[in-house]
Amino acid sequence: MLKVVKIGLLGLGTVGGGTVNVLERNSQEISRRCGYQIVVSKACARDMSRARICSTDSLQLTSNPDDIINDPEIQIVVELMGGEEPAKSLILAALANGKHVITANKALIATHGNELFAAAASNKVILAYESAIAGGIPIVKALREGLSANKIEWLAGIINGTGNFILTEMRDKGSAFEDVLKQAQQLGYAEADPTFDVEGIDAAHKLCILASLAFGMPLNFERVYTEGISKVTPLDLTYAEELGYRIKHLGVARKTDDGVEMRVHPTLVPKKRLLANVDGVMNAVLVKGNAVGATMYYGPGAGADATASAVVADIVDICRQLEISSDQYLAPLGFLSEQLKDLPNVSIEQVKTAFYLRLSVLDKPGVMAAITAILANNGISIEAALQKEIEQHGANTQVILLTGSVVEQLLVSALAEIESLDSTTGPAVRIRVESLQ
């Protein structure tokens, strides 16, 4: 007879209900993998009368999370509430009670993960978080275990499905950002307040964790440069296509001789790259290791069953470690805690990339020569150019340029000169370009 491991859920919404369903549907296969019978014994929900996507017949429902935190029979607590509080306090209490914890709370891990991991270690228990990043894609395990032979050079990911859906619809239908955002809200892809998704905060939380896993450094969310997609226009998506690129909202982490770059922003990606062809609500993470080369991880970034798949994978991992010494537990960030290094941060002003530029100018002789002269004087080369007549946008001509690689602060200085020209009729649009090689 298999030993029973009892689970307590803090939250019985979409992911909580999905977790119950996956554990029930795949119970035999899961037991074959971990050697235990896994039983969800209690679940905490704010609204006890709400309809659920799972059966609650075998569950003890409660509105008091302490009923789970203080239950001596529950060995694993799964936190699916979201937000900072009371989630953080409940996780700390569960860890202090000697319970292993699984969380899907990327914001909490990104901002308080160092404290939470230390609390888990001091209480000799595990804090797992695969479901916090990219839904059902096992990217935490890939970085922490599958790629552990490698020195990770960089990673780039589409790690917010809402933003990717919006950019895909804008590109395919020529719709404005505001119109597609409303559509995303109607479909349930975007919240009533979409700020975290469209302004890049959600992706920044995830990138912070991925960078720590990749480079072996403490979590430091405050260092992530974050830029959203609300200023991307159908024009820019169209011109990028003409130049052989697609615009994606990427999280990029790169280790250089000067330190670590962590940045989230719209990015031109060559159309021939796999990452450029990840559309709709799907997620993908491309990782470059010095031994294996480039590997990509693709799949659904949200949804009941997809995210529950990651939650249950963590349950299985914890069950596999129940009967070993705590000093043999997998390190949460893949590096021994004493080996984590607080690497220098490379500010966005010092990052070196190529750029897409769209300039609104008067259609008269000498304009292009003046622009190219300013760029040349700042050491910036031009790799490609387009010129478009667009009267309705308040200028005779739109000049679209792809530059060579340049340090950002030099480009900003050059654009200030260009915008001061009498022939320039509006602020420049600039979007970074990544070759992903």
CATH number for 45: 3.40.50.720
pLDDT digits (tens, 9 = 90+) for 72-124: 999 999 999 999 999 999 999 999 999 999 999 999 999 999 999 999 999 99
Q: Which residue has the tokens 């039983």?
A: 39
Query: Looking at residue 402, what is its pLDDT?
Result: 97
Please report whether residue 75 resides in a domain: yes
Q: How much is the average pLDDT of 339-367?
A: 94
Q: What is the C-alpha to C-alpha distance for residues 169 and 174, in angstroms, rounded to an integer?
A: 7
Provide the whole-model pTM.
Answer: 0.94
In a domain, residue 332? The reply is: yes
Q: How confident is the model at residue 188 (pLDDT cuts 50, 70, 90)?
A: confident
What's the confidence (pLDDT) of residue 363? 84
Q: What is the pLDDT of residue 50?
A: 86
Cβ count within 10 A of residue 70: 13
pLDDT mean across residues, the chain: 94
- Are 369 and 332 part of one and the same domain? no
Least Cα distance to 252 among 340, 352, 396, 381 occurs for 352
pLDDT at 392: 54
Same domain, 153 and 275: yes
CATH of the domain at 398: 3.30.70.260
Task: Select from 281, 313, 339 the last residue of a domain.
Answer: 339
Q: Per the domain annotation, does 344 fall within a domain?
A: no
Of 6-10, 134-138, 298-302, 337-341, highest mean pLDDT: 6-10
Cα 180 from Cα 197, distance rounded (Å): 13
- In this prediction, residue 223 carries a pLDDT of 97
Residue 257 and residue 161 share a domain: yes
CA gap 277, 19 in Å, rounded: 30
Res 105: pLDDT: 97
Q: Specify if 268 maps to a domain.
A: yes
CATH code where residue 157 lies: 3.30.360.10
Please write the tens of the pLDDT for every residue from 41-68.
Answer: 999 998 887 889 988 888 999 999 999 9
Task: Name the residue with tokens 């992903």.
Answer: 436
Summarize the confidence of residues 202-217 as an average pLDDT.
98
Q: What is the pLDDT of residue 328?
A: 86
Q: Which residue has the higher pLDDT, 390 or 393?
A: 390
Report CA-CA distances (Å) from 287 to 3, 119, 252, 258, 271.
38, 30, 10, 20, 18
The answer to whether the Cα torsion of 238, 243, 244, 247 is positive or negative is negative
Identify whether 345 is part of a domain: no
The reported pLDDT for the residue numbered 277 is 97
**What is the count of structural domains for the chain?**
3
List all residues 6 or more positions away from 28 whose beta carbon is below 8 Å from its beta carbon: none
One domain, residues 218 and 360: no
Same domain for 267 and 371:
no
Contacts of residue 306, Cβ cutoff 8 Å, sequence gap at least 6: 18, 135, 136, 299, 300
Say yes or no: 358 and 317 in one domain: no
- Domain encompassing residue 224: 139-300
- Residue numbers annotated as active site: 206
Q: Are 298 and 137 spatial neighbours (Cβ–Cβ below 8 Å)?
A: yes
Q: Inform me whether the pLDDT recorded for 235 exceeds 60.
A: yes
Q: Is residue 346 part of a domain?
A: no
Same domain, 290 and 309: no
Q: Can you tell me the mean pLDDT for 394-403?
A: 84
State the pLDDT at residue 228: 97
Whether 190 and 248 map to the same domain: the answer is: yes
Question: Which tens digits make up the pLDDT trace of 269-314?
Answer: 999 999 999 999 999 999 999 999 999 999 998 889 999 999 999 9
Place 394 in a pLDDT band, splitting at 50, 70 and 90. Answer: low
Asked whether residue 405 is assigned to any structural domain, the reply reads yes
Residue 135 region, left (φ>0) first, then alpha (ψ -120 to 50), else beta? left
pLDDT band at 1 (very low <50, low <70, confident <90, very high): confident
Residue 396, pLDDT score: 80
pLDDT at 393 over 70: no
The 3-state secondary structure of the chain, one letter per residue: CCEEEEEEEECCCHHHHHHHHHHHHCHHHHHHHHCEEEEEEEEECCCCCCCCCCCCCCCEEECCCHHHHCCCCEEEEEECCCCCCCHHHHHHHHHHCCCEEEECCHHHHHHHHHHHHHHHHHCCCCEECHHHCCCCCCHHHHHHHHCCCCCEEEEEEECCHHHHHHHHHHHHHCCCHHHHHHHHHHCCCCCCCCHHHHCCHHHHHHHHHHHHHHHCCCCCHHHCEECCCCCCCHHHHHHHHHCCEEEEEEEEEEEECCEEEEEEEEEEEECCCHHHHCCCCEEEEEEEECCCEEEEEEEECCCHHHHHHHHHHHHHHHHHCCCCCHHHCCCCCCCCHHHCCCCCECCHHHCEEEEEEEEEECCCCCHHHHHHHHHHHCCCCEEEEEEEECHHHCCCEEEEEEECCEEHHHHHHHHHHHHCCCCECCCCEEEEECCCC
Do 294 and 145 fall within a single domain?
A: yes
Residues 44 and 180 in one domain: no
Query: How many C-beta neighbours within 10 Å does residue 272 have?
Result: 9
User: Where among 313, 339, 365 does a domain terminate?
Assistant: 339
The whole-number pLDDT of residue 389 equals 75
Residues 187, 153 share a domain: yes
Residue 425 within a domain: yes
Does 63 lie in the same domain as 104? yes
